[in-house]
Structure 1
């Protein structure tokens, strides 16, 4: 049975308990409902945060995954702008990171190996010998604990996970928390918090795949107009590992500073970086660098509908992935067959392979110095 949480706070101890909130008139409503079960019988819960302006976000406990993001266009027509599966079983049997919380390390680490304080750690090599997004048994395929759900002017859902010492080769017991919150204006904030009992490396992000025309639209994401305020990016080898260079975007297909359709430059076979990535699959070094509060990292607009997404982050980089490996074998929402270009990812992050590049922003986390990454998906409409 669907459990509506209006004017009620849900918290988790041994079980979810209820406490009546003071104000019954709430602008953003939080609800939760069963979403299915995993192969081991464990239940997956879906939490929906819905604002009065029509913006709503649905998050699964499996992978602390942003499953749906409904956004109205300039005429009020609502569409889900996220690619994903419909069935929980598909998330489990054919994981593809869509909308998931990524960890311990978002993006790639060369040969799955890094050295910290003189000790070398070996991670699983799940991507042509490289370690990608946690090494194959990362946070995206864990069923997180739902800690609390709350309605109000800002509705929230809090998820937690303990990653033990040695998990996928990483040092330190990591206690993590992901907080999703939606306000009345349609800002979906995601806060990643973690503590460790040993020095470790950490790079958490969200891996949502967007098409602002709407998932399954006749207009694919290549028609979306993308802006990235970055004067440089990190070029990669043929294995998609950064070389360590920061290369200027000026005069290359990687210059998105003034905004242009995603398709522009996507098939430029004269640029070796485009050839390596089979399109765009690169980290952009944001001009803003590391910031205390989230600042703009990317803007994505569907001109036809007017739907606009702004991605803000405290992190210094953002990975732009143009859906190059969507090969027509993935069947997603409403039976839609996903093909190359149907969606793109914009993943705020520290740089890929940072533990092996001293000139990159550090991903080290120490005991007594908690990790925090704050990002925002801000959705609006362009009226013109």
Structure 2
């Protein structure tokens, strides 16, 4: 197990460090102290080749805008909040409007544009980095001073674990996630249309024309959203379904998970044999198939296009502040927000 660091650039006079940690099998993760952004995960295919399976920029400057949120930690609240406002304890809070009249992924700054304090660690069985940041009361309109820790850990079982921890001195909404896009073909040899996705979920959320949940829970049965037995993404994306067409002919939907830490999300790419198993204690996952990648953008040195990666955002349900029947995303003062998502990389030889 080893970890190395390299300064990439500076932002406002603060060094931006790339941390690369490697396990004893040769699996490798690279991340930045800017936005906790994951820029590389080298995972083996069925022939033993280690290739990058995440989307990233080859240069730092695009991360200053990073409209796809490549690899970043999202907060304080992942997803959209309708009309960029919410009511809590009898008071209305106005948030920054950064997507039309709505608030998206923590606002204009958000945790994805923060330079985090980073402390690396290494043991016999694991290696990684713990990031920390204090979000001040009023940042982006949110109440409370919030202390946040995000820990990235890689072990010798080829498990990459993200742990989130937060406390606040005022009641505040919080739901953190990571916005890494995966492409298991390796080094972007193909798009994600022939990846197979399996999710243990009986329900997904209906979205309106702004891609915000209406509050209606829909049954997946007899729809492209029935991924319980696994489905080629191409099959779902090309289906004639109004919710698929609504978001740019693809998925951009929250699913309610039926189990926790029981291989509830499995992504498989047959040519490489790579399998990604995602397990979490979050109530849902937002599946986004890159339907709206900006044109003219270079991704891993290649021109961007639709369906180049899939984002699997384990989190509380979007816009939960406006839907009392959703699991609550409110962190009470003095309580602890704690969440963990594990990404296990395996190889299928057949």
Q: TM-score, normalised by structure 1?
A: 0.88
After superposition, the Cα gap between the structure-2 partners of 1:201 and 1:93, relative to the gap in structure 1 and judged at 3 Å, is: closer
Match of 2:6 among 30, 33, 43: 33
- Hey, what does 2:100 align to over in structure 1? 128
The answer on whether the counterparts of 1:63 and 1:100 sit within 8 Å (CA) in structure 2 is yes
List per-residue Cα deviations over 1:239-295 (Å, max 9, x = no partner): 111111111000001111111111112133x4221122112100000112xx5xx44
SS of structure 1 residue aligned to 2:245: helix
- Hey, what does 1:111 align to over in structure 2? 83
SS of structure 1 residue aligned to 2:324: coil
- Hey, what does 1:137 align to over in structure 2? 109
- Hey, what does 1:274 align to over in structure 2? 244
Match of 1:265 among 236, 239, 249: 236
CA distance in 2, matches of 1:234, 1:136: 26
Q: 1:151: how far off?
A: 4.3
- Hey, what does 1:227 align to over in structure 2? 198
CA distance in 1, matches of 2:134, 2:262: 29
Q: How many residues align?
A: 349
Q: TM-score, normalised by structure 2?
A: 0.97
- Hey, what does 2:258 align to over in structure 1? 287
- Hey, what does 2:50 align to over in structure 1? 78
Q: 1:135: how far off?
A: 1.3
List per-residue Cα deviations over 1:114-145 (Å, max 9, x = no partner): 11111111111212221110012100011111
RMSD: 1.3
Describe how 1:340-355 pairs up with structure 2 within 5 A.
Answer: 340-355=306-321
The answer on whether the counterparts of 2:173 and 2:330 sit within 8 Å (CA) in structure 1 is yes
- Hey, what does 2:287 align to over in structure 1? 320
Q: 1:315: how far off?
A: 0.3
- Hey, what does 2:275 align to over in structure 1? 308
Q: 1:216: how far off?
A: 2.3
- Hey, what does 1:360 align to over in structure 2? 326
SS of structure 2 residue aligned to 1:244: strand
After superposition, the Cα gap between the structure-2 partners of 1:69 and 1:244, relative to the gap in structure 1 and judged at 3 Å, is: same
The answer on whether the counterparts of 2:68 and 2:293 sit within 8 Å (CA) in structure 1 is no
List per-residue Cα deviations over 1:195-217 (Å, max 9, x = no partner): 00000000100000010002321
The answer on whether the counterparts of 1:297 and 1:318 sit within 8 Å (CA) in structure 2 is no
- Hey, what does 2:175 align to over in structure 1? 203
List per-residue Cα deviations over 1:4-61 (Å, max 9, x = no partner): xxxxxxxxxxxxxxxxxxxxxxxx21221212222x2321111112112221111100
SS of structure 2 residue aligned to 1:264: helix
CA distance in 2, matches of 1:42, 1:368: 31
Q: 1:95: how far off?
A: 4.2
1:377 and 2:343 correspond:
yes
The answer on whether the counterparts of 1:110 and 1:131 sit within 8 Å (CA) in structure 2 is yes
SS of structure 2 residue aligned to 1:342: coil
List per-residue Cα deviations over 1:346-382 (Å, max 9, x = no partner): 0000000001000000001012211011001111101
SS of structure 1 residue aligned to 2:193: helix
Q: Relative to structure 2, which stretch is displaced further, 93-102 or 317-326?
A: 93-102
SS of structure 2 residue aligned to 1:263: helix
Structure 1: 4+ residue segments shifted above 6 A: none
- Hey, what does 1:47 align to over in structure 2? 19
Q: 1:344: how far off?
A: 0.8
CA distance in 2, matches of 1:94, 1:61: 15
1:149 and 2:118 correspond:
no
- Hey, what does 2:210 align to over in structure 1? 239
